[in-house]
Structure 1
Amino acid sequence: MNWLSGSNEKYIFEMYSASHLAVLAIFILISAVLYFSHAKLRKRQLRILELLAAGSLFLVELGFHLWLAATGNWNASDSLPLELCSISLFLTIILLITKNKLVYELLLFTALLGASQALLTPLLNFDFPHFRFFHFFFTHMMMIWAVFYFTWVLGFRPTIRSVYRVFIFLNILLPFVLLINKLVDGNYMFLSHKPGIASLLDFLGPYPWYILSLEGLVIIFSLLIWLVFKGKTQVAGRKGTGERAE
């Protein structure tokens, strides 16, 4: 079937084309529903939907890797789940299943720092209705929607310690990803070199100094995210018993 083929000859994606703008409109619409309907949603039993969302993410990601293998495009240098958004995807699945506060804190920052940029400036070759188009936008939107859902509906909130934790988490990952890059000749998280297209990294200095610049940006944007989302933690069902944000 053409929509599963490994060629993008008939499905060339263009940024801010009709299909891209339609996806962004859907993203904004559902985000608005989560925000303005959070009080009503909080009263509903949504556990089955949470588990279904986790399962759908796993199956779509599995389908993506099977598609890469079937089309001869899977290789260790660029197909391992070591990009920030891939890591965020698995954090989303874990969060939806466990409702763990630490996982929420990590995902809040990794999803909003990574997936939001991916939605606005997609590194994507395949347009609608190709499978890769659905995989890309579904997974990235779900990461952010999960953060919004846990924040607005379930009442989770970050503290200033959340910023420390995500910074430590990313820096624990960094040497591991650097090692994998060296072993498989990869460029996961752009730690080996800048991407071949124009990007924010072009303004952050030459290799390897742009990595240090990125560290600074992570701190700055993480603090901004904390300022926007901080508040009194009131996990649904336990109103008033959460910890006060610091």
Structure 2
Amino acid sequence: MTTLGMWPDSLHQFQPFSLTHLAIVVGLTIFWAVVVGLGVRWRGTQKLSWFERGFALFYLLQWLGFHGWWLLPGNFNVAGSLPLHICDIVALLMPFALVWRSRFLVAILYFWGIGLSLQGIITPDLGSGPLTVIFWIFWLHHTAIVGTAVYMLVVHRFRPRWKDLYWSVVAGLAYVAVVFPIDAAFGFNYGYLGERNPSQPTLIDVMGPWPWRVGVMAGLAGIVMGLLLLPWEVVRWWRHR
């Protein structure tokens, strides 16, 4: 085993489908299972309200601090520092969805979070290991999005409907309409809609050449979001048949 200084390479560099990958996913899954369990236990109490507000404030401050750091003159890179990725937007909306429980925000959290951001957990576009801040911010971002979406399903009994899917798809198409031209014009890769492939292997690698793969990505995203609605529609049909 080679080392960088006194630490093994695995703590400096992240490899998908490694023991580190498995450990962080399992650990954060357990953490979110505890969070959801507390939400169920405190449902209908003032304690739940304070718990959710504190959680939302923590993640909002973390989001502002992280993206604010990248926007500082010494760190700013226009090709990568702007919070224009899907996960950046959903992570910003997540605290407000948790506190306000706006149906539109919760729907975006559900369809975009589980449907799209979950891919970032399965095939992370991440090179930094556990000894870096970037590693932990990445995992806190992505698992908070998916975890909060599950939390809303279990604790607040959110049940998506066709209208929720419709507005989530419309919002997704609006995102593509805004970000794709920016990527194409300036050579960026926000939302992975640009010409460059992610640094780690992902599904994007098998979606064909750019720019045609953007249409494939949009179509696949719509199908995935539709599949996320399907179980709830089946349950509603079964209850009313």
TM-score bracket relative to the smaller structure? 0.7 to 0.9
Is 1:186 aligned to residue 166 of structure 2? no
Q: Quick one: percent identity of the two aligned structures?
A: 27
In the alignment, the residues of structure 2 paired with residue 94 and residue 183 of structure 1 have an alpha-carbon distance, to the nearest angstrom, of 32
In the alignment, the residues of structure 1 paired with residue 190 and residue 108 of structure 2 have an alpha-carbon distance, to the nearest angstrom, of 19
Amino acid at match of 2:114: L
In structure 2, the partner of 1:5 is none
Q: Could you say which structure has the higher helix fraction?
A: 2
In structure 1, the partner of 2:128 is 126
Q: 1:85 to 1:150 in 2, by over 3 A?
A: same
In structure 2, the partner of 1:223 is 226
In the alignment, the residues of structure 1 paired with residue 19 and residue 55 of structure 2 have an alpha-carbon distance, to the nearest angstrom, of 27
Is 1:200 aligned to residue 198 of structure 2? no
In structure 1, the partner of 2:156 is 154
Give the alignment's TM-score, normalised by structure 2: 0.81
In the alignment, the residues of structure 2 paired with residue 106 and residue 148 of structure 1 have an alpha-carbon distance, to the nearest angstrom, of 13
In the alignment, the residues of structure 1 paired with residue 101 and residue 153 of structure 2 have an alpha-carbon distance, to the nearest angstrom, of 12
Deviation at 1:135, TM superposition (A): 0.7
Worse-matched range after superposition: 131-140 or 50-59: 50-59
Amino acid at match of 2:140: F
Aligned positions of 1:42-53 closer than 5 A = 42-45=43-46, 46-53=48-55
In structure 2, the partner of 1:13 is 14
- Residue of 73, 77, 80 corresponding to 1:78: 80
1:88-139: CA deviations, max 9, x gaps? Answer: 1112022123110111111101111232111122111221132111111111
In the alignment, the residues of structure 2 paired with residue 16 and residue 155 of structure 1 have an alpha-carbon distance, to the nearest angstrom, of 33
Is 1:23 aligned to residue 24 of structure 2? yes
In the alignment, the residues of structure 1 paired with residue 31 and residue 11 of structure 2 have an alpha-carbon distance, to the nearest angstrom, of 29
**Contact 1:50–1:97 under 8 Å retained in 2:** yes
**Contact 2:197–2:205 under 8 Å retained in 1:** no
RMSD over aligned Cα atoms: 2.9
- Residue of 88, 106, 109 corresponding to 2:108: 106
**Contact 2:11–2:130 under 8 Å retained in 1:** no
Q: 1:230 to 1:143 in 2, by over 3 A?
A: farther
**Contact 2:10–2:129 under 8 Å retained in 1:** no
1:173-214: CA deviations, max 9, x gaps? Answer: 222112332554311112221415443123222222211112
**Contact 1:88–1:107 under 8 Å retained in 2:** yes
Residue segments in structure 1 that go unaligned for 5+ positions in a row? 1-7, 234-243
Q: 1:139 to 1:229 in 2, by over 3 A?
A: farther
Residue segments in structure 2 that go unaligned for 5+ positions in a row? 1-8
**Contact 1:158–1:231 under 8 Å retained in 2:** no
Worse-matched range after superposition: 149-158 or 214-223: 214-223
In structure 2, the partner of 1:238 is none
In structure 2, the partner of 1:213 is 216
Deviation at 1:164, TM superposition (A): 1.4
Amino acid at match of 2:85: E
- Residue of 134, 158, 177 corresponding to 2:179: 177
Q: 1:231 to 1:134 in 2, by over 3 A?
A: farther
1:5-42: CA deviations, max 9, x gaps? Answer: xxx99722222344332221123223444666764342
Q: 1:47 to 1:39 in 2, by over 3 A?
A: closer
Report 1 or 2 for greater relative contact order, CA contacts < 8 Å, sequence distance ≥ 6: 1
Size of the aligned set, in residue pairs, is 228
**Contact 2:13–2:129 under 8 Å retained in 1:** yes
Q: Secondary structure at the match of 2:79?
A: coil
